[in-house]
Amino acid sequence: MPHRIEKINELIQQQMAEILTRALDIKPGVFMTISKVDTSRDLRYTRIFLSIFPERESDYALKTLGKELYRLQGILNKKLSMRPLPRIEFVQDLTGSKADEVERILKIIK
């Protein structure tokens, strides 16, 4: 089962990256990258983790995704030939900013 989930995560990441590139209209200078996809074992839910640059635009990007969620979900559902179709949720990936913060603290300690 875990191997199947990995394959589904890869498929959803690939399809959603294409959808975001083609179907989402965001203002120039804002970039989103899918850093990770995490699908539940029962295939009912998928969390899509996004790295957003510049970070100060993350609220704008997440609000835009929230407004377009049902449309993006519909496009994804048409591309996936599986049942059940997982409900997507967009989550900001804060790994990069947390790593920067740890690095800054370590420099202060030295």
Q: What structural domains does the chain harbor?
A: 2-109 (3.30.300.20)
Instruction: Output the pLDDT for position 97.
Output: 59
Instruction: Output the pLDDT for position 7.
Output: 92
Torsions phi, psi for 60 (to 5 deg)? -60, -45
Query: From first to last of its 110 residues, what are the pLDDT tens digits of the chain?
Result: 578 899 999 999 999 999 998 888 888 888 898 999 999 999 999 999 999 888 888 889 999 999 999 999 999 999 988 888 999 999 998 776 565 666 667 777 77
The predicted model scores a pTM of 0.79
